[in-house]
A and B are shown apart, each in its own frame.
Chain A
Amino acid sequence: MTTSNPPTPQPGAAAADGATLSAFQERPRRSFFYHARGFISGKPLGTVGLVIILFMAFLAVAAPLVAPKDPNKINAYETLEAPGANYVLGSDRRGRDVASRVIYGARMSLLVGFSSVAIGCAVGFLLAVTTGYVGRWPDMATQFLVDVLLAFPFLILAIVIVAVLGASTFNIIMAISIGYVPWTARIVRSTVLTMKEREFVTAAVASGASQWRIMFRHIAPNCVAPFLVVLTAGIGGAIIAEATLSFLGLGLPPPTASWGRDLQEGSSRLIESAPWLSIFPGIAISLTVYGFNLFGDALRDVFDPRLRTL
């Protein structure tokens, strides 16, 4: 793996971890294929996961090209058609094409999954690196905050935030992302603490490097591994969280196609008379989360076997 190929090809990624990744690039460069071959032969399951993720990402990016129909076009006279020649995966109660909605749904689900985890992890990462290095009261304050957030049941927090603020895409991303701050902060902090004692940091301090330089030049790059692991493993959870919010009526606003929302709409009242409405978004969610979990496992093994108990 080189850093020129972030784990998920979502556009938001570069912005979110640009700071850390640029530092990461100081390592000796090997060809991309060298790493890729290593990964594929060493982690066949992770590769399966990566393939699933890439496939979904492809669907998301190329949705307008791949989707057979307009996902939001309401066809009054073709409601609830069973899967067949006209509608490959059937049509929903408003006559919208399920296949197209599943394909477009990849956009929203991946966006919400990825960006909420990226934001949450980035905040947790920055918090842990800075306060963990500085120590003393900032560190204690952060730890207290982490404790509070961990004691706040993740979904309850998300529900309260979304219910109170309203179910917009932004609010949902924010609500989910908060759940990832404490986990990342806790894991990264322990890495920061060990790094702090290492010789190269001591050397940097001795050479008169500024605190910020030490934090972001020396310590942060070494914490990227756990960060990436949490990130990948967390996306699956975030996609499920989005679906769960949808189930509780707090999902993404219409008409956006999202798997969670479509699954909820399809499973409500029509699960027996029109099962294709819920089955296909359900499969899409499970498959993608499965992919992220497989890939996350592999990534964890590669980067840091000690993190296995996560």
Chain B
Amino acid sequence: MRAYLFRRSLIGLLTVLGVATATFLLLRIMPGDPAVAALGDPGKSGASMEQVEALREQWGLNRPLHVQYFSWLWGAARFDFGESLRSRKPVLEEYARKLPVTASIVILATALTLVVAVPAGIVSALKQDTALDYVVRVISLAGLSLPSFWVAVLIIVGLVRYFQWLPPIDFAPIWEDPVRSFKQFILPAFAVAFATIGMVARLTRSAMLEVMREDYVRTARAKGLQERLITYRHALRNAILPVMTAMGMYIGFGIGGLIVVEVAFNVNGVGRYLIAAVQRRDYPVVEAVTLAAAFFIVATNILVDVLYAFLDPRIRYT
């Protein structure tokens, strides 16, 4: 197990490095100049080419590519991601400010998904081909058919129009004011979770159906066990495994929804931070945020694998 974890982490680290390198190259090779972007709209400010050059010099953008790369990598290894070109504050400091916001949404969204989707999927499987099953299936498929931002926009319009209420705009950390924090993030989390609920419910349903057809369930039934016991002790425990793996993968998918939902709800999280950085060609921020995102995705997947081993005694990692 330990050897496996070590190997897995090593590969994970390499993967993150790969993502970092890809982002770095992507940003440098492609056109678009952060110095021009930073000087605002030079049509109005009348920035000269000299000013732009000076800024490039100051930010070290005119050094050779490999020099830039290794100095950045060396910095990243020490958790020094440089300064945001835009705010001139350390990226890490800004990121640390935004992370709890996004983490709150992710955690709530994941909880929502688990709480809604898994039971829905199970019920759907147990009551296969009943009206309930159809409703769950139709709705979960609809969840996959609506763009997240559209869900978010509809929620906002509905709230404002009929309740004249929107989540508080000032961030309240969960450890300081849980109620306010919940109020603030439950709706963005719902907009993010809308799609993942659909996916996970479908997945749970099919996994359950598959497991229910397995020999050991049939054996359990033959033994005369209570149906409820069969469901929870035998079927569910096995069906939940693929669901967990998929949840790990959906994190990456969910991040996409997260960005638009943060924009729509005006939540100052990592997603909005990234979008603003991309628009302004704020290289250090884009690099750091993608690196962190890759790190979290890889870490989640490793975590899921480890959990897998705990839940399923048949699996022995070596």
Contacts and interface: CB of A to CB of B under 8 A. Distances in A.
Given A244-B148, A289-B144, A290-B145, A164 B27 contact: yes
The B interface is mostly helix, strand or loop, or mixed, namely helix
A38 B51 CA distance: 70
Interface string A213-225: 0000000000000
B150 A160 contact: no
Residue of A165, A166, A244, A297 contacting most chain B CB atoms (<10 Å) = A244
A206 to B, nearest CB: 34
A147 B150 contact: no
Contact of A151 (B16, B142, B257, B259): B16
Given A267-B153, A290-B141, A164 B30 contact: yes
B149 A244 contact: yes
6 contacts: A147-B15, A153-B293, A164-B32, A247-B264, A248-B275, A308-B210
A293 B206 contact: no
A180 to B, nearest CB: 13
B146 A248 contact: no
Contacts of A271: 153, 157
Given A153-B252, A247-B260, A309-B242, A285 B18 contact: no
Residue of B18, B30, B145, B146 contacting most chain A CB atoms (<10 Å) = B145
A247 B149 CA distance: 7
A127 B278 CA distance: 30
Interface in B233-281: 242, 246, 249, 252-253, 255-257, 259-260, 263-264, 274-275, 278-279, 281
Interface in B24-40: 26-27, 30-32
A48 to B, nearest CB: 11
A163 interface: yes
B290 interface: yes
A263 B290 CA distance: 28
B206 A272 contact: no
Interface string A289-309: 110011001000000000011
Contacts of B142: 286, 290
B111 interface: no
A243 interface: yes
A309 B274 CA distance: 32
Given A152-B19, A243-B150, A236 B144 contact: yes
A222 B147 CA distance: 34
A150 to B, nearest CB: 7
A29 to B, nearest CB: 32
Contacts of A308: 206, 210
B194 to A, nearest CB: 12
A152 B294 contact: yes
Residue of A155, A241, A285, A287 contacting most chain B CB atoms (<10 Å) = A155
Nearest to B253: A154
Interface residues of B, number: 53
Given A148-B22, A161-B26, A271-B157, A155 B31 contact: no
Interface of B: 11, 14-16, 18-19, 22-23, 26-27, 30-32, 141-142, 144-150, 153, 157, 161, 203, 206-207, 210, 242, 246, 249, 252-253, 255-257, 259-260, 263-264, 274-275, 278-279, 281, 286, 289-290, 293-294, 297-298
Residue of B16, B22, B32, B147 contacting most chain A CB atoms (<10 Å) = B147
Contacts of A240: 145, 147
Interface string A150-186: 1111111001110111100000000000000000000
Contact of A154 (B147, B256, B279): B256
A306 B286 CA distance: 39
B275 A159 contact: yes
B31 A282 contact: no
Interface in A165-213: 165-166
Contact of B31 (A165, A287, A297): A165
A65 to B, nearest CB: 28
Interface string A136-158: 00000000110110111111100
A247 B255 CA distance: 15
A286 B157 CA distance: 19
Contacts of B249: 150
A163 B30 CA distance: 10
Contacts of B242: 309
A160 B27 contact: yes
B15 A144 contact: yes
A163 B153 CA distance: 23
Residue of A164, A278, A287 contacting most chain B CB atoms (<10 Å) = A164
A58 to B, nearest CB: 20
Contacts of A144: 14-15, 18
B259 A156 contact: yes
Contact of B26 (A164, A263, A294): A164
Given A153-B256, A156-B255, A286 B145 contact: yes
